[in-house]
Structure 1
Amino acid sequence: MKFPKFADLILFEDDDIIVVNKPPFISSLDEREGGEINMLRLAKQYSDDAQICHRLDKETSGALIIAKNPDAYRSVSMQFERRKVKKVYHAVIDGTHVFENLLVDLPILNIGKSSVTISRQDGKRAETWFQSLRYFKHYTLVECRPVTGRMHQIRIHLATQRASIAGDEMYKGKPVFLSEIKRKYHLGKDQEELPIMKRFALHAYEVSFKLLNGNDITIHAPYPKDFDTLLKQLEKFDS
């Protein structure tokens, strides 16, 4: 896999903060010991004291806030703790679902090994708002606004609505194949069809927070190529 230049990922930068458009398949932090490249390492090569302010799942693309100094890290961390950072994600989900400002309020329990479950008894409070943006025949583009920041929160909350994210096999989401949406699709002999998108279709589209100077800022992260391609194919063959 070819790694992008860190500078090419930057959406916003001042003396304290960088916001990047994280590519899919790169971890936010060191997942385990070893030489795996991750956003923290790339950021530190660019700015010595860089710290990642929050996590995105390895497969999730989009807006990631990085602090360039301890004061900035403290400021953004406090905003996250007080739920002052507004995050907007876009997801392509299985099926046609009309979500009109739907609030899913189901506690999430971390059961280890990167797994979570819904547990009303032992889980931690977790809230996400969902709004359908575009409808296709077999899929829906949805805006997701998490209030809390639990692990896999959007993914498991959608799964509870029988609306798993396309390609999210951990939560019963099926990958999208062109043969399923395009009529008269022919695959050559001995060819194996690959899904349109090789990961689950979740993108951190927007983030809003306060800079150290007190100014409010909202940053949009454009869709990466794979997410954009999936939407274009759905528009063409599934609308």
Structure 2
Amino acid sequence: MSRTFVLPLLLLCCALAVGVGGGTAAAEATVDRSFEANATPGDAVTVTTTIERDDDGPVDYAEEFDPAFEDVSLESLTLDGEPITPMLAFAGGDSLLVVTNDLEAGTLEIVFTVEVPDDANLDDRFKFDGDFRATPGTDPIAVAGDDVLTITTVEDDGQSADVDDDESGVAADDVDIDESETATSADDSDELEMTDADGVGDESEPAAEDELGLSLVVSILAIGVAVATFCWR
């Protein structure tokens, strides 16, 4: 074979070998979020996001919440268990942002707390949508793991039930009051009846005396007439 063709062929083989052997991409970071998936109104739920990184570099981590929570707060930021200070950290009801300076490869853990609104309803679903960028300008990596917080128990119902019980108690008190008023009315009725009875008794007694006197007069007159008739004979 001519040397004219051998040299370009060798250069091509070397180029292919370098491309195949040295072109392996760095392992992609993994991001996982975990939290208790069920909550009640007013609960404070702790969320932990774990980022496994094989490369050095800054971290850009962002979360959005729909609907918004009552409050969101960043609790801690650690690299391989050691606390670190973020370059920028923002926490609001509807979002969370954490940005760091260059960090060594390792396990980055972000812990934050979300507070469920007191007026949340049964079966309300709060959705998490987050991503992570290992270095500026790179494509974001979606956060995997738990992404929905569901309201499964509403304590307000129990409180409402307690209020209903209290209202029932008030109603019962009202019934007691009504009964006492009824009893008072009954006493008044008894007094009224007694007064009426006394009145009837007072009126009937003179009437009986009048009838007795009239009977005596009639009897005396009858006796007088009988005596007069006997004497006349």
Is the TM-score greater than 0.5?
no
- Work out which of the two has the higher radius of gyration on C-alpha atoms and give 1 or 2: 2
TM-score w.r.t. structure 1 length?
0.29
TM-score w.r.t. structure 2 length?
0.29
